[in-house]
Structure 1
Amino acid sequence: MKATSSMAASGRVLLLILDGWGIGKNDESNPIHVVNPKSLQWAREHFPFTSLQASGISVGLPWNEAGNSEVGHLTIGAGRIFYQHLPRISIAIKDGSFAKNQALVGALQHVRERGSTLHLIGLLTKGNTHASLEHLHALIQEATAAGIPFRLHLFTDGQDSPRGSLPDLLRELPQEAVASLVGRHYAMNTEQDWQLTQRAYEIITGVSGTVIAPEALGDTIASYYKEFENESFFPPTRLEGRGTLKDGDAALFFNFREEAMRQLAAACTKEDFSFFPRVELHDIYWAAMTEYEKGLPLHVLFPPQTFPNTLGEVLARQGKTQFRIAETYRYPHVTSFMNGYRNEPFPNEYRVQIPSIATQDPSQHPQLMAQAITDRLVQAIENKSFDCIIANYANGDIIAHTGNYQAAIEAVQTIDQQLEKLLPLALQNDTAVLITASHGNIEEAVSPVTGIPTTQHTGNPVPVYLIAKSLEGRTFPNAGDLLETIGLLADIAPTVLELLGIPPPPEMTGKSLLQSLSLPAL
C-alpha cells in the first residue's frame, strides 16, 4: 500500500492514546458526554472521526471480555490480533496442556520431594485484567489432584471488581487454604515505592502484618468496609496457623499481566536486591504465570510470544525518529507493550517517563501529570525533530478506577484542556494527529441501571479522530452512529504508517483507516 502525496505531505504524526476513554451513553452516567469537550467537538466538525472495537475477540480476548490498557497498547503497536495471555492460558486449561506444563509440574514435584507447601500468590478478582479466577481454580485443582498442600496469599482488588465483592470471591475458594490478604495498592505497586512492596513481601514471608484468627476474617472485612469502600488498601493481614513461605517451599505468582508484578517478584527472587531487608530463604522454587521481567529467576509457565514488525520496529527500520511519553502509570504501555514486550528502545526511539503523583487516592489529583506531558509534547512538536510521537494520557482510566464521579468530570476537563493546546499547534507544524483509546472505562462512571459508581473497564468501542490539513472535510461512513464500529485497534498502526508514507509489513493484518474515508470534495 502506498500513501498518496497529499497523505504523506503531513510529514509527522502525533498518536495520542486516551486511556480508558470509550464511547458511552449520552446521559449523566458518562462524564465525557456531560463535559462535552470543546476540542473534540471542534475535531468532529472539521475532521473525520469514527469508532473501533477494543474488547473481546477483536483484541485477542474471549468474547465479551472488556479490553484493558496492556491489551490495547499491544494491539495498537502490533497492528494485528493475537491471543493475549488470558485466552492463551484458558485454552491450555481447557485442552489439558496446562496440567502438563513443565514449570507447573516442576513446582508440584519440588513440593512433593520435600514434603513442603505450594504458595499461590496473586490478585483475587472478578475481572480478567491482571489475573483470572479461572486460572487460580485450575492451579488449585492441579495441587489437589497431586495431593500437594497449598496456601493462598491473595491481593484484594477494588479496581477491576465491583465494590464489596471480596466476601463473595473468598467464598469461591477453599477457606482453609487462605493464608494472607493484602491490598493491591501494596502488592502491585508500579511506581518504585518499595515501602509498599515491602509490606506485601513481609506478609507473605511472615515478617510483619496483622495476625488474626481465621474465624475472625469475616468481621475484619466488615470492619474494613466501614472505613473504606475500596479493597485496594486492605491492610496486610495473616491468618493465624495458616503458614508463611519457608525453606523448601514452592511459590507461584498467578497474575498474568506483567508490569504490576515486577516489583514484588524482584523483591522475592533477585539476588542483588537492596531496596529493603529480606528474609533469608533457601531452596525455593519460584514460578510465575508469565515472564514479568527478563532476567528474573522464575520458572515461567507461559513465556512471551514474539511479535516481529511492530509499529516501532517498522519506523526504526525506515530510519524514522520516534518519541514516546507517558507518566509512570502508563509508561510501560507506550514503550514495552507497544513494542511487543520489547523493553529496549529501537534505534532513534526516545523515551520520557513523567513521574506520577505519589498518592494513595488519585481522585484527589484528577489532573495527574497531564500538563507536564503536554509541555513536553509542545516542545517535541515545535522542534520538528520526531517523525512519530506517541503519548498516553492516563487520566481516564486511573480516575475512573477510583469511582469518584466528580473527579472523573475533572479528568475529562483536564484532557480537553490539553487537546485545546495540542491540536492547533500540530496543524500549524505540519503534524497529523490521530486520537484514540486503548479501551473503555470513564464513559460509564455510574451504572445507568443502579446509579452506583462503577470502576471496571467496559467493552464499549473507542473513538478515533484523524486531524490533518489534507483530511479536513472528509468523513467515515459511520459518522452518524459510532456504536456501529468501522474497524479494530489493530488498524491504528497501518493508519500511522500510511500517514507517513510507509507501506505496512505483511505481519500487520490491520487495515489503514484512510482507505475507508470519503473522497475529497471537488
Structure 2
Amino acid sequence: MSSDLSLQPHPSFSGRPGPLLVVVADGVGVAPPGTSNAITEASTPTLDSLYATELYTELAAHGPAVGLPTDDDMGNSEVGHNALGAGRIFAQGAKLVNKAITTGAIFESDVWAEAIEHGRNGTLHLIGLHSDGGVHSSLEHLYALLRRAADEGVMSCAVHILHDGRDVAARSALTYIERTEAVLAEINAAGPNRNYRIASGGGRMTITMDRYEANWKMVENGYMCHAHGEGPAFASAADAVETMYAESDAGDQYLGRFVVDRGAGPVGMIHDGDAVVFFNFRGDRAIEISRAFEEPDFDVFDRTSASGDPAPDVFFAGMLQYDGDAFIPKKFLVAPPEIDRTMGQFLCAEGVKSFAISETQKFGHVTYFWNGNKSGYIDEHLETYIEIPSDNVEFDTTPAMKVREITDETIDLLRSGEYRFGRLNFPSGDMVGHTGHLHATVEAMEIIDECMARLVEVIDELDGVLVFTADHGNADIMFTVDKDGVRHPKTSHTLSPVPFAIHDPNYDGEYHMIEAAAGSDHGLANVASTVFNLLGYEAPSDYNPSLVQF
C-alpha cells in the first residue's frame, strides 16, 4: 500500500473497544407511513428505536448524491454501494454514457468503428433492458446508437429487448415497444433497403439478465433466443406481450421469451461476423451474457442450437466494461468511472481486519461495488468475504431470503474477536420489494427487524458500534393509486431518502449528529468519513464530510 493511504488518529476519539458493524438494509427507504409503505406497516420495534435516538438522520440516495444525472434518477444498489465504499461521488453509468453521447466520444472510439464495420457487412445486434427506468439502461442511449448506425451505413439492425416491469410499472412493456417501433419505422423510412427491427426478447427475470451466477439457465435461455432464434414465435413483439398478458397476470419482468417470425423464420438470428452490442450500462446483470457471447472457450452451457448450429463467432462489445478486474467484456464503448482510494484500501493500509457478508443476490455489492468496481480481495490476509448462496426462487415466496443466515454468520464473526470492522447487506427489502407483493415485503421487514435486535444485542455485549443505513428506497412505496382508486404495484426503486442511525451503547455525548440543513446534500458518500471517525481515525481530506461532529 502506498503512503497516500495512511490515516491519522482522530484527535479526540479513539473508537470503542469492540467492532464497528455497518448494516445496509437494501431497499429500505424513508417515506410517509401509509398502507403502501411496507416498512411502516411492519412491526419493527428495533428499527423504531434506532430511528428515535439523537444519533439518527436521513441521507440522499439518488440522483446527483450518488453520481447520477438528475434528481429524477432513482438510486440503485450498485451506485449506492460505490458511494458507501468510496466516500466521494463519482459520475456513474447513465451520466458517463450521456456525456459520451453528447460529446460524440462514444462514436469516435475504435470499438464503435469496429462494430459498425461488422454491422455493414452483416447485422448489428443491440441487446438490453428495454425501458426508461434509468437503472440498467436508457432508451435514449439505444435510440442514439440506432440512429448513428443508420447514418454510418448499417443497413441491417436487430434489437433484442428485455422487458423491465421492475424499475418501471409492472406492465408497461407495450408502451416501450410502441416507442421503439416508431423509431425503427422512422429509420427505415429515411433510406432505401434498411431493415431495422425488433427480433427477440423476454422478461428480465426469465432470460439473459442473471447476476452473480445465481441462475445460468436464464442466460442460456436468453442466448438461445437471441442468437439462434429459439422460442415461441410471434408476428411482432407487441403480439408476444399481448398474448402473454392474456395468459397470466405476470408482470413484464417474468414474461417468457419470444422470437419475431413473420412467416419466413426468425427475423434476427445472430450469424458469424455480426456485431453484438449489449447496451446496458449497469454491470451486475450484464457480465454473464457478455461471457456467453465473448468467450471462445465458454463451457458453462452448450451454445449449440437445437438444430446443431454452433455458437456464432461475433464481434461483441458492452456499453461499459462490466468487470474491470476480469476484463468483461474486453471491448466496450464508454470507460467506467475510475474509483480509487476506497474505504477498504485505507483500512487495509492501516492493518485493520474486516469482513463483508451477504447472500449471492447482494454479495457483489458489499465486495465488488464497495471496493470501487474491483473484484477479489484488497488484502486477503486482512479481509474475509462470505457469500451465502441465494435460492433460485421468486422472492415473495421466501421473504426471509437468507437474512437469518447472514445474521448467524455475522454474529460468529463479531464474537470471534478477530475483526475491527464488518459490513453486511440484508437484501430482502429490495429483492422482495421488487416483486410488488406488499404482505411478503412486510414480512421481510419484520424478519430484518428481528435480526437487527440480535445484532444490537451482540454489539452491546462486545462494546462495539452499529451503523444502520440503506442504499436506496424500494419497500417504502409498494403501490400507487390512480384517480379511480385502483392500486398499481410499484416494483421499482423510489426517490426516498434512506435512514442513517448509529447505535453506540457507550455513547455519552462525545459527538453529535450534524443536522442536515434544508437542501443539504448529505448522502451515502458521507458514510465513509463517519465510519472512519467512529473507528478512531480522521477521514481523508478529499472524502465527503462526516455526519458526526466531536
**TM-score, with normalisation over the residues of structure 1?**
0.93
Greater helix content: 1
Counterpart of 2:444? 411
Deviation at 1:6, TM superposition (A): 4.5
Q: Contact 1:18–1:435 at 8 Å: present in 2 too?
A: yes
Secondary structure (helix, strand or coil) at the match of 1:490 reads helix
Change in CA separation of 1:472 and 1:165 when aligned onto 2, cut-off 3 Å:
farther
Secondary structure (helix, strand or coil) at the match of 1:63 reads coil
Deviation at 1:471, TM superposition (A): 2.9
Count of residues in Structure 1 that have an aligned counterpart in Structure 2: 508
Q: Contact 1:46–1:472 at 8 Å: present in 2 too?
A: no
Give deviations 1:359-411, integer Å, cap 9, x for gaps: 1x210111110000000011011112111100000011111110001111101
Secondary structure (helix, strand or coil) at the match of 2:386 reads strand
Secondary structure (helix, strand or coil) at the match of 1:351 reads strand
Counterpart of 2:63? 56
2:526 and 2:420 map into 1 onto residues whose CA distance is 19
Matched, 1:437 2:470: yes
Matched, 1:220 2:220: no
Mean CA deviation greater in 376-385 or 483-492 = 483-492
Counterpart of 1:511? 545
Counterpart of 1:520? none
Q: Pick the aligned partner of 1:494 from 505, 516, 529.
A: 529
1:119 and 1:277 map into 2 onto residues whose CA distance is 21
Secondary structure (helix, strand or coil) at the match of 1:464 reads strand
What is the correspondence of 1:436-475 to structure 2 with a 5 Å cutoff? 436-447=469-480, 451-471=487-507
Deviation at 1:11, TM superposition (A): 4.1
Deviation at 1:485, TM superposition (A): 5.6
Counterpart of 2:396? 363
1:14 and 1:488 map into 2 onto residues whose CA distance is 19
User: Structure 1: which 5+ runs fail to align?
Assistant: 518-522
Secondary structure (helix, strand or coil) at the match of 2:336 reads coil
1:56 and 1:486 map into 2 onto residues whose CA distance is 11
Deviation at 1:110, TM superposition (A): 2.6
Q: Contact 2:18–2:459 at 8 Å: present in 1 too?
A: no
Give deviations 1:289-314, integer Å, cap 9, x for gaps: 11123234531112333222101100
What is the correspondence of 1:299-314 to structure 2 with a 5 Å cutoff? 299-314=331-346
Counterpart of 2:80? 72
Give deviations 1:214-240, integer Å, cap 9, x for gaps: 3xx434312212303311122221111
Secondary structure (helix, strand or coil) at the match of 2:430 reads helix
Matched, 1:179 2:214: no
The runs of at least 4 consecutive aligned structure 1 residues that moved more than 6 Å come to none
- State the AA in 2 paired with 1:91: K
Matched, 1:93 2:101: yes
Deviation at 1:514, TM superposition (A): 1.4
Q: Pick the aligned partner of 1:326 from 347, 358, 375.
A: 358
- State the AA in 2 paired with 1:286: F
1:484 and 1:248 map into 2 onto residues whose CA distance is 53
Deviation at 1:461, TM superposition (A): 0.8
Q: Contact 1:13–1:387 at 8 Å: present in 2 too?
A: yes
Q: Contact 2:137–2:280 at 8 Å: present in 1 too?
A: yes
Deviation at 1:472, TM superposition (A): 5.4
Counterpart of 1:376? 409
Counterpart of 1:108? 116
Q: Pick the aligned partner of 2:257 from 220, 232, 236.
A: 236
Q: Contact 2:354–2:422 at 8 Å: present in 1 too?
A: yes
- State the AA in 2 paired with 1:213: A
Change in CA separation of 1:286 and 1:135 when aligned onto 2, cut-off 3 Å:
same
- State the AA in 2 paired with 1:411: A
RMSD: 2.0
User: Structure 2: which 5+ runs fail to align?
Assistant: 1-7, 186-195, 305-309
1:111 and 1:28 map into 2 onto residues whose CA distance is 51
Matched, 1:118 2:153: no
Counterpart of 1:288? 318
1:218 and 1:259 map into 2 onto residues whose CA distance is 28
- State the AA in 2 paired with 1:421: R
1:336 and 1:235 map into 2 onto residues whose CA distance is 31
**TM-score, with normalisation over the residues of structure 2?**
0.88
1:265 and 1:272 map into 2 onto residues whose CA distance is 13
Q: Contact 2:271–2:313 at 8 Å: present in 1 too?
A: no
Deviation at 1:45, TM superposition (A): 4.1
Secondary structure (helix, strand or coil) at the match of 1:150 reads strand
Q: Contact 1:47–1:467 at 8 Å: present in 2 too?
A: no
Secondary structure (helix, strand or coil) at the match of 2:318 reads strand
Deviation at 1:79, TM superposition (A): 0.1
Q: Contact 2:15–2:533 at 8 Å: present in 1 too?
A: yes
